[in-house]
Amino acid sequence: MTALDTQPTQPKSYSLAHWQGGHKSLKEEYEYWIDDIDGTIPAELSGTLFRNGPGLLDVNGDRLHHPFDGDGMICAISITAGKAHFRNRYVKTAGYLAEQKAGKILYRGVFGTQKPGGWLANVFDLRFKNIANTNVMYWGKKLLALWEAGLPYRLNPATLETLGEDQLQGLLGKGASFSAHPRFDPGDGVRREPRMVNFGTATGLSTRLTVYEFDLDGNCLEQYSHNIPGLGFFHDFALTPNYAIFFQNPVVLNPVPFVLGLKSAGQSIQFKPDQPTTVWVIPRNGKDPVQQFETDACFVFHHANAFETTAGLTIDSICYDHFPTLGPNDDYRSVDFETFPISQLWRITVNFADRSVRRTQVSPRCCEFPSVNPQYVGKPYQYIFMGVAAPKTENSPLQALQKLDVTSDPADPSVQTWSAAPNGFIGEPVFVPKPNRSETEDAGWLLSLVYDGAEHRSELVILDAEDLTQGAIARLKLNHHIPYGLHGCFTPEVFLCE
Ligand code: CO
């Protein structure tokens, strides 16, 4: 026997077949009152949860190479007086309508989907389909489906009918991009009004990064631009009262295999582990100089929060050791999680005086989809709510929700965990503050769509954020599944059109 043979095999926290079920298309569009509810919806919880994510994982039976290439489908769950109504609609983008009409894949996907016919069918085709699948935001009475490489698509918030691409009152040009990760500055309740802040990029030999700041009515108050050397692959950013903070991952794009039709744009990105990750600190007053810092190589999609300190900045981010990508011949549905880079929560502290950056791991547990109380964005804070894997240190699908106290001892952080394993796979938790409890940071509910692989059905789970250990306070079971989603939002406005 070799040493390897004697290693005890840990049973997995999930079945691969169950996990794969969440990657099946949902082609139907529904609307109904949810009548299968375990527990009780809190009477004070009132508003609409909007979710976005890839709904179609195939076009007429031809599978997409990567779920991130799937057409955006919006779900709206309206909650009022202890009842809940469900509705889902596809974002009727130009690409979605064209492919549904043709009954086949007409576009290459950013993450690896190719048109049928091999490289000859894909060579020199550099068009992108705006799939509007990453986030959905409600601001200034507008509901917008977001995808970071294109314009937002506007939808009717009550019916989810697609109204078309939105250039935001002429702010964005026809080919402009508007990130899928807006940040919402809660203001200070006195002098500074709340704002929505977002960004777009234009990439050539360098990257032109433009930050936009909007008032409560959706009017752009300010915009400021900077040139970033090289490829600026920015999915998200962090926001404090005085700074917009961007992490430039150490990646380069090799355009040759992409142009030749051999690989997608996403697969042509190469991670450079010997190069630093650059932290760009952009002053929101548009006047002070941009500051640049470096830390060791890591890849960041999402930031949990950031705040200003006497020395500089503290940023809590989810870092991967390197860029997680799928090769042209890999099948995402049978991916071996253990060979994939693990995502973990890190704290990055930036010192403005001596220009040092410290990066320390907060927790070894595999995590993604961080969320905080929206009133604490950009401020010193205590709690992160996020999806975590069921095992404590291995890479594995997200099956549990965790509340982590970032002020507790980093050697043994204080956490509460609610797990949906073995059958459940969780989505991003959205924090909804409880009315009239703004003095308590964790006074809120967590809303998360959970896919049950055994029943091939999804549910909206509501947890009390003050105590996850008491379990779900309500489970709203849908009549069908929802494919694994990405991001969404909650508004206290109740949208119903019946
Ligand atoms: Co994201």
Which DSSP string corresponds to 9-48? PPPPSS-HHHHHHTTS------EEE--EEEE---TT--EE
Find the 165 Cα to ligand 1 centroid distance in Å. 20
Q: pLDDT tens across 251-284, in order?
A: 888 777 777 777 777 777 888 999 999 999 999 9
Q: Which of 20-24, 67-71, 106-110, 205-209 has the lowest mean pLDDT?
A: 106-110
Find the 350 Cα to ligand 1 centroid distance in Å. 23
Q: pLDDT tens across 342-394, in order?
A: 999 999 999 999 999 999 999 999 999 999 999 999 999 999 999 999 998 88
For residue 261, what are the contacts with CB-CB under 8 A and spacing of at least 6? Answer: 108, 114, 118, 119, 120, 121, 122, 123, 124, 125
- Strands 36-39, 474-477: pairing is antiparallel
Find the 81 Cα to ligand 1 centroid distance in Å. 32
Find the 302 Cα to ligand 1 centroid distance in Å. 6
In order of 20, 270, 347, the CA distances from 184 in angstroms are: 34, 32, 21
Residue 126 has pLDDT above 80, yes or no: no
Find the 354 Cα to ligand 1 centroid distance in Å. 32
Find the 355 Cα to ligand 1 centroid distance in Å. 29
Q: What is the signed CA dihedral for 373, 379, 382, 385, rounded to 10 degrees?
A: 40
Find the 398 Cα to ligand 1 centroid distance in Å. 15
Residue 359 burial class via C-beta count within 10 angstroms: exposed 0-12, middle 13-18, buried 19 and up: middle
Residue 90 has pLDDT above 80, yes or no: yes
Find the 136 Cα to ligand 1 centroid distance in Å. 11
Token digits for 246? 């961007």
Q: 104 pLDDT band (50/70/90 cuts)? A: very high
3-state secondary structure of 157: coil
Sheet with 83-90, side-by-side order of all strands:
31-33, 83-90, 72-80, 47-54, 488-491
3-state secondary structure of 130: coil
Please tell me the predicted confidence (pLDDT) of residue 267.
Answer: 76
The whole-chain average pLDDT of the chain stands at 92
Find the 196 Cα to ligand 1 centroid distance in Å. 17
What is the pTM (predicted TM-score) of this model? 0.95
Find the 236 Cα to ligand 1 centroid distance in Å. 7
Residue 440 has pLDDT above 80, yes or no: yes
Question: Once rounded to an integer, what is the mean pLDDT over residues 23-48?
Answer: 98
Please state whether the peptide bond connecting residue 422 to the residue before it is cis, i.e. omega within 30 degrees of 0. yes
Find the 368 Cα to ligand 1 centroid distance in Å. 9
Find the 193 Cα to ligand 1 centroid distance in Å. 26
Find the 456 Cα to ligand 1 centroid distance in Å. 25
Please tell me the predicted confidence (pLDDT) of residue 217.
Answer: 97
- Please, which contacts does 474-478 make with residues 24 or more away whose CB atoms are closer than 8 Å? 474/37, 474/38, 474/39, 474/40, 474/41, 474/42, 475/37, 475/38, 475/39, 476/34, 476/36, 476/37, 476/41, 476/77, 476/84, 477/34, 477/36, 477/37, 477/38, 478/34, 478/86
Find the 181 Cα to ligand 1 centroid distance in Å. 6
Q: 3 pLDDT band (50/70/90 cuts)? A: very low
Find the 226 Cα to ligand 1 centroid distance in Å. 22
Q: 2 pLDDT band (50/70/90 cuts)? A: very low
Beta-bridge mates of residue 248: 278
Find the 488 Cα to ligand 1 centroid distance in Å. 10
Q: Higher-confidence residue: 321 or 6?
A: 321
Find the 237 Cα to ligand 1 centroid distance in Å. 10
Shortest CA distance to 307 belongs to which of 138, 441, 135, 443? 441
Neighbours of 288 (CB within 10 A): 12
For residue 22, what are the contacts with CB-CB under 8 A and spacing of at least 6? Answer: 425, 451, 453, 481, 483, 484
Please tell me the predicted confidence (pLDDT) of residue 337.
Answer: 83
Residue 1 has pLDDT above 50, yes or no: no
Find the 377 Cα to ligand 1 centroid distance in Å. 16
Find the 148 Cα to ligand 1 centroid distance in Å. 9
Q: Higher-confidence residue: 176 or 113?
A: 176
Find the 206 Cα to ligand 1 centroid distance in Å. 23
Find the 97 Cα to ligand 1 centroid distance in Å. 25
Residue 471 has pLDDT above 60, yes or no: yes
Find the 353 Cα to ligand 1 centroid distance in Å. 32
**Can you tell me the distance from the alpha carbon of 133 to that of 91, in angstroms, rounded to the nearest whole number?**
8
Find the 338 Cα to ligand 1 centroid distance in Å. 22
Find the 442 Cα to ligand 1 centroid distance in Å. 23
Identify which of 137-146, 197-206, 255-264 has the greatest average pLDDT: 137-146
Residue 4 has pLDDT above 50, yes or no: no
Q: pLDDT tens across 388-429, in order?
A: 999 988 899 999 999 999 999 988 899 999 999 999 999 999
Find the 232 Cα to ligand 1 centroid distance in Å. 16
Find the 487 Cα to ligand 1 centroid distance in Å. 7
Find the 177 Cα to ligand 1 centroid distance in Å. 15
Find the 433 Cα to ligand 1 centroid distance in Å. 22
Q: What percent of the chain has pLDDT over 70?
A: 94
In order of 15, 20, 71, 157, 329, the CA distances from 425 in angstroms are: 11, 10, 21, 27, 26
- N- to C-terminal Cα separation, the chain: 68
Q: pLDDT tens across 294-343, in order?
A: 999 999 999 999 999 999 999 999 999 887 776 667 777 877 787 788 99
Find the 427 Cα to ligand 1 centroid distance in Å. 12
Find the 345 Cα to ligand 1 centroid distance in Å. 15
214 touches 197 (CB < 8 A):
yes
Q: Higher-confidence residue: 490 or 61?
A: 490
Find the 386 Cα to ligand 1 centroid distance in Å. 13
Find the 180 Cα to ligand 1 centroid distance in Å. 7
**Can you tell me the distance from the alpha carbon of 286 to that of 468, in angstroms, rounded to the nearest whole number?**
41
Find the 235 Cα to ligand 1 centroid distance in Å. 6
Question: Once rounded to an integer, what is the mean pLDDT over residues 477-482?
Answer: 98
